[in-house]
Amino acid sequence: VQLVESGGGLVQPGGSLRLSCGASESDLQIYTLGWFRQAPGKQRELVASITIGGILRYADSVKGRFTISRDDAKNTVSLQMNNLVPEDTAVYYCSAKFIDQWKYWGQGTQVTVSS
């Protein structure tokens, strides 16, 4: 499974970005999908996930600001990020879970929140 992210960039504090992730040759609807992020000097952390049945989970730090969604018809998963703060600055990765393991990863997209 090859995942490709898009939508990162530079945004001012309080701004919004929408990340998207797709797979051209795989059927993402059979996987739980998630967004992770890794800031410099920190461990990669799970930001949000969505199961096949649509159950959502969020890290406490992004609850109420980020929304994960999936479009199985388009074979994509998205992360809408609102009210961004500098602490959200990181490389964001999408991932697909296979048999309880986050097995497949995209190459990452940089999100920088700065004035």
- What residue ranges in the chain does DSSP mark as E strands? 4-6, 9-11, 17-22, 32-38, 45-50, 56-58, 66-71, 76-81, 90-98, 101-105, 109-113
The per-residue pLDDT for 106 is 95
Q: Give me 29's structure tokens.
A: 């609807």
The per-residue pLDDT for 27 is 82
The tens digit of pLDDT for each residue in 16-61 reads 999 999 987 778 888 999 999 999 999 999 999 999 999 999 999 9
> In degrees, to the nearest 5, what angle opens at C-alpha 92 toward C-alphas 91 and 98?
135
Q: Determine the Cα–Cα distance for residues 106 and 26; give it in Å rounded to an integer.
A: 13
